[in-house]
Structure 1
């Protein structure tokens, strides 16, 4: 970046500040500096702000994603005996309330011939985290060695773990600086952050669940679509075929919100799928079908969706989930003794409707924050969560309720916490005399 050929971070920042395009080699050097500390916090913040205002081209986004991916370990599946065309595929959700889809999705895809090395996160703010839910299960290890992770994927078909410090370490520092410089909302940087972690798992295909609505980080469908299209463009530029689904998060997904309560719903979904919540079923099977078709595990979407439904209805997915839990240290008899292993909080109270009517809408974020207030979520990344608190029997938009019927059941540690949650949940749910218009949970598919 200078006459002497020495890389100068400030010159790269200047190029982007003035609306220019950054070379891939310079992006790689800058990310290397983020990782080893040779680029200062001020320089990282300055680049983030220039990208926030000026954006990035798909090629720049791909270069940033790949450089951040390559800042740590990248899993080479050929080392573990996988063929070059093995259908190694994952899904990522932008987060919501009651979103336990990953828990049933990974075993469904594995039961249909896909391999799912799923690297998931913890909850933050009003959204729940897949790892927190799995840690409700005694003994479940979310941080096996990479060799053990690969072995479970190969023998079981799927494994769900957390991000270790060896996977995309540049992202951790970059995100921390963005968090305190008001640049988190940059779509190119959100894209690179998501994809760098996902692609460090050596994926051959990726399906995104980009949520919009009152319970999503992207509250409008327009913002969500912009993010989804950018992720698909950048991932494809990085040679990872990607499809994105825009899904509605204007209500709790399924009938539970919390940690252990969502494991209960997952088990019921897998063992008794005909009784499952319809919206949860639709989004899970659609995501499964796209994962199977995009990765080549099945020939097309329609065949893949049929196969996914059969695997679920015949109990094959339930078998895979049980094997995954046991392989990662959880109990082998989880299904038989779920009430012994999944301990719920002792104070159980209903959120009574107070009047008759149809559920016309809900402030889903407020419901998520009610779970956080119970102790079931976190606003500080280092905080611990209470796995036993949460909500069950959550009403859905369009449901008819009588005045003395519950909108949800609260599980809390004490009466005061329960009453606070009851007040928050009741205030978050709208009741009207006429049923609202039904809306599909999958609003748009991008990348087909």
Structure 2
């Protein structure tokens, strides 16, 4: 039921209740008046029937009752008038109620229209809310996508920044590398210039000793400490040096071929070797502090290592280029050694002659052993043989200079140091211990 029907129904019910109430009130008043009048008449009649004596009083009472009845009728008429007025008022109220009903109907119609408008508005609002929710979800998805794109952009930016940093680092590295290369180029150019000057200086040498002396001098241009080790059998002994501490005796600067050192490596393998302070470690080296850089290069004649050039420095900036400088000087010295073939040939022949003398002394010792001679007799005869051999060698080496005088003693020392020892090497050691010390030039 709509509002208009409801208002019409309620208004009709109100009018009916008001009309019914007015009619009931009028009827009730009339009935009460009539009942009261009838009661009085009955009472009067009863009184008249029971007593006829006081007729005058009865008539007066009747007249009074009639007057009262008239009065009651007047009241009834007045009540009827009031009832009529009430009905008139009720009609007016009904009219007003009808007007109110029309107004209510109009208001209901307006309210219904407003309700429909509100329903349309609510539907529009719901639609707008749904659209807003959809838009919000879309915006949320868009925001999520944008956040993903932002993260990807940030990641790409970080990667780009890292690549830029790497590129800058690479550029700095390349720039530093170019600076290093330029410095190395200048260094190599300077070393090449010094190498050419060194070649010219070495070319002026006329003897092996002079050549080795000039080699030490030229190498010292890049290394403050330089030593030439002569190979004597299984030992390498210091012969020429520069830059050593004054407290160091060059005669004590020596090592065996079995020692762990770049010096022995160069002598054994015939190639130049170099090492840093970390690589040198506990390896055999010159007395004093561990150098920052060291190099050793062999001095070779006809595949035989005659000596080793050793040089070191405390400067950490020295490196492969400086090692190559020393190696080139040593290699050029080896070439120049071939020009001094006569001196070297004589030295080799004298060494072979010394070895022959020792071989003959060994054969005599072996023969004495086979003949059953006593050990003291064999040692005496061995001392005589060695002494005679020294005289023969000295006569032959006298004209070859001081460098050849000690070759026999070098060969004797090499034989005595043979490991494992032999009967002859042990006997030779004992015989030498009983002999007076002879200088190399004697």
TM-score w.r.t. length of structure 1:
0.21
- Choose between structure 1 and 2 for higher RCO, CA contacts under 8 A separated by at least 6 residues: 1
Which has a greater percent of helix? 2
Structure 1 or 2: more strand by fraction: 1
Compare CA radii of gyration and give the structure with the larger one. Answer: 2
TM score, norm. by length of structure 2: 0.21
